């Protein structure tokens, strides 16, 4: 790697605003706020909207969508009738 062209990597705390979870990892992202970590050290803080702590795919709380009800609602709304059977 060439010296002087890469951003500095440092420990950063990411906070999931929806789940309230905190993650300490390394990042080059800029941060304007700081937070004290569990061991008392102060790290930059970056707020994120979604992380693995609150996303339905990772938590297993995904919902099954009723597609038949959506199709019927679409047909009622836009005046489509059910296809005629032969």
Give the residue, 22 or 68, on which the prediction is more confident.
22
Longest dimension (CA), the chain: 75
Q: How far is 1 from 12, CA to CA, in rounded Å?
A: 23
What confidence tens digit (pLDDT) does each residue in 20-66 have? 889 899 999 999 999 999 999 999 998 887 776 766 655 666 565 66
DSSP-based three-state secondary structure for 33: strand
CB 45 within 8 Å of CB 31 = yes
User: Tokens at residue 35, please?
Assistant: 């937070």
Q: Are strands 42-48 and 33-36 parallel, antiparallel or unpaired?
A: antiparallel
Give me the pLDDT at residue 76, please.
Answer: 81
Phi, psi for residue 24 in degrees, rounded to 5: -105, 120
């Amino acid at each position: 790697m060439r010296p002087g062209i890469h951003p500095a990597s440092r420990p950063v705390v990411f906070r999931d605003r929806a789940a309230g979870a905190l993650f300490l990892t390394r990042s080059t992202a800029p941060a304007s706020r700081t937070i004290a970590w569990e061991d008392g050290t102060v790290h930059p803080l970056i707020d994120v909207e979604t992380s693995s702590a609150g996303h339905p795919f990772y938590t297993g709380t995904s919902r099954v969508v009723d597609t038949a009800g959506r199709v019927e609602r679409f047909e009622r709304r836009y005046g489509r009738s059910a296809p005629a059977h032969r």
